[in-house]
Chains A and B, each alone.
Chain A
Amino acid sequence: MSASTRAPDPARQQLTVDWQSCDGHGLCAEILPELVHLDEWHFPVVQRAVPKELERLARAAVVACPKLALKITKP
């Protein structure tokens, strides 16, 4: 099972990809390698639950996405 399929922890902020918008630019993986890596086609594999200490970086990754495809959902 890849990281993206792990059951999300409802208490934490969740990182999700809007798949029909994502074009695989890969900025999210540059900014937030702790939670995002790219698959063989350069699309993000995300670890959904965002730890407290990474919330600021996660927001930076969301803002950087040129397709607005990365989202943080609040608990």
Chain B
Amino acid sequence: MTRFFSLIGRGLLQHRAMMYLLVGFALFPLYTGFADLPFWNDVAIRIMLLGMAAMGLNLVLGYGGMVSFGHAAFFGIGAYCVGISSYYDIFNGWIHIGFSLVTCGLMGVIIGLLSLRTSGIYFIMITLAFAQMLFFGFVSLETFGGDDGMSIDRAEFGLIDLYEPLRLYFLVWAALVIVSLLLMFIVHSRFGVTLRAIKSNESRVEAMGLTPLKFKITAYVISAMICGLAGTLFASWQEYVSPDIMHWTRSGELMIIIILGGLGTLAGPLLGAIAFLLLEEFLPELIQAIAPDYAENWMIVFGPILIAIVMFGRGGLLGLLIKLFQRKGAS
């Protein structure tokens, strides 16, 4: 147990950026309260949840070097766990979360075991194909709304009434803090070090007598469960779930968020989520100001921005910040 806390403590020191972000999110409602901008609380919730999913994906993508292009599926399964439970009149949020963690864990084991037999381009394509399989599965499940999806009530968390203002905000925040601490612990543990070693040279790790597949599948399952948790909370916030939540473009979005913020860093995905959602919020307005007829077509600018980020944006926003402040170990 002391080891656990010393790891977390060291992690907190090493990840100042992460700590600033978490404190920032805790204080943000104060600002929106004074400035009377309740809409921005919702934006912040979306940022935290997409950031959380991206943090989960980052464990396999950034630390493990496995390019999974199907993590939206786990986000969607998490969301559908709320929908399906509500359909059978189970409204307890703790049960939703438990259900989602177990289902995503199991699906993570199945999909992970099948996909991790391959690597490189095959792995990318296969994870994408599995996500599509689940997507089409939910599209044709008429019981749960099919294509149109189903509207749901926010979950009940005992004494916490999620319909009261800010209750959901701080529930999401608490989940984000727990996930951040967990990832901090994982990244600095022996497991995390081995995972990064596998990324840089798998056969060498194997030669040392370890079984890379075991580490990879564990990381895959953990990341699936984190994505599932984010999806569960997302569905409760949105009060609606449809197959669109696991559309393959969302897998792309999560990857963009990671690249934008900084691959293989703890705070990167959260920073990327802030940048991504602000871009999504302000780009249409910007285009509205320049060419009012084309505000709806903001994607035509967003696509090239994305290509530019890939071509020129090495290290992401976090890398940029570190360069700006030049403070050692601020990742």
A and B co-occur in one complex: no
B interface residues, Cβ below 8 angstroms from A: none
A interface residues, Cβ below 8 angstroms from B: none
